Amino acid sequence: MTDIYRDDAPGERRAAVVENGNIVEIHIQRDALWALGECGIGRIDRKTPSGAYVVADDGSTLLLRSKINQPDGARISFEVTREAIAEPGRIKPPEILLRDSAHDEPLIGKEALWDARVASLGQSAINASIADGFDVAIAGQSQLGDVSTSFQRTKAGLVFDIDGIGDAFAINLVAATEVARLLRLFQVGAMVLIDFVSMESKAQRTQIAEAFDAASLADPRPFERTAINGYGMMQVVRARPRPSILDQLFGTRIAALSDETQAYWLLRAVAQSKGFGTRTVTAQPEVATLLQSKQWAGWRAAAVRLAGADMVVVADEKAAGYGHVHVAQS
């Protein structure tokens, strides 16, 4: 049995595909960023030999990867073909293509795109929390009996390290299925490198690769992979039109929640909190600054409206975790 869970909050929309009670896919759209398929207006800021950098009307920079005849400063209409991708230490800007501005077609917005994306997952969505689906992502490790599947983001892609006790073939057989599950769960694209426990037998290496293929049949996204070499390495490549859940959670950091993630989660906590008193949000200074910024004013207002109470933000360098929300007793 398959269900679709929808879990929207101010600034961040979530959805999950749930099969037999288990979350098998997580999807996130954040309203601060350009979404795949979203259309907008901007100006050519700087031309390059193969395209141009475009500054949208909201001040963000996007990359056009095709030659353009218009001069610098010209106004253009565009459609996003790849969302911004956050990697350790850097953010790749969104990529766009030119849109025919001669037609008065309405610009496609984030809400319509999200509704269409959720609808494409399957049957009608029901409102339910999917927060438990982030536990493994934050831990950076999945443990199945004696088999440990650890993973870490790099600029080149996602790297898995397989470890365990006992027979290498048995360990790798469990890990192959688990890696396929995690790639679908977190919607990972681009390059993935899997470091299996080394096996001398080529026949066994082939069996492990085929086990990965079989486990990946549940994931509708196509992929290419290499064979497993004598050192236990296998590479998997998928298209990457959107950031993975790991990219969204950690941003430019490797294994720590980004300021943006902490801010979104605190606003979600405010929106879902119960009681009548003022909500005091305590967060690290950088997160507090983000929450109080002009760009986030609309989402703050939405959280206050949903909570039915005022909200104040307090910066505290000693705030634990990603901060907390306190409901005053009134």
Domain limits of the chain?
2-33+111-129, 39-108, 134-238, 257-327
Share of the chain above pLDDT 70, in %: 98
- Hey, what CATH topology would domain 257-327 get? Hypothetical Protein Ychn; Chain: A, (3.40.1260)
CA-CA distance, 30 to 21, in Å (whole number)? 26
CB 139 within 8 A of CB 182: no
301-316 mean pLDDT: 97
CA 68 to chain centre: 31
List, for residues 47-94, the tens digit of each pLDDT value.
Answer: 999 999 999 999 999 999 998 999 999 999 999 999 999 999 999 999
CA-CA distance, 302 to 323, in Å (whole number)? 20
Task: Count CA atoms within 13 Å of residue 137 on its CB side.
Answer: 24
pLDDT at 108 (0 to 100): 78
Share of the chain above pLDDT 90, in %: 90
Could you tell me what percentage of the chain is helix, strand and coil, using 3-state DSSP and rounding each to the nearest 5? 30, 35, 40
pLDDT at 101 (0 to 100): 64
List, for residues 132-177, the tens digit of each pLDDT value.
Answer: 889 999 999 999 999 999 999 999 999 999 999 999 999 999 999 9
- Take residue 307 and report the two structure tokens written for it: 């909570």
For residue 165, the SS3 value is: coil
pLDDT at 103 (0 to 100): 56
List, for residues 233-253, the tens digit of each pLDDT value.
Answer: 999 999 999 999 999 999 999
> Beta strand pairing status for 90-92 and 147-153?
unpaired
Model-level pTM? 0.94
**CA geometry: angle at 17 spanning 15 and 20, to 5°?**
140
Best CA proximity match to 310, nearest among 259, 273, 260: 273
Quote the DSSP letter at residue 196. Answer: P
CA-CA distance, 8 to 27, in Å (whole number)? 11
Name the CATH superfamily, with its identifier, for domain 39-108: Nucleic acid-binding proteins (2.40.50.140)
List, for residues 182-209, the tens digit of each pLDDT value.
Answer: 999 999 999 999 999 999 999 999 999 9
List, for residues 92-144, the tens digit of each pLDDT value.
Answer: 999 999 988 655 566 778 999 999 999 999 878 899 989 888 999 999 999 99
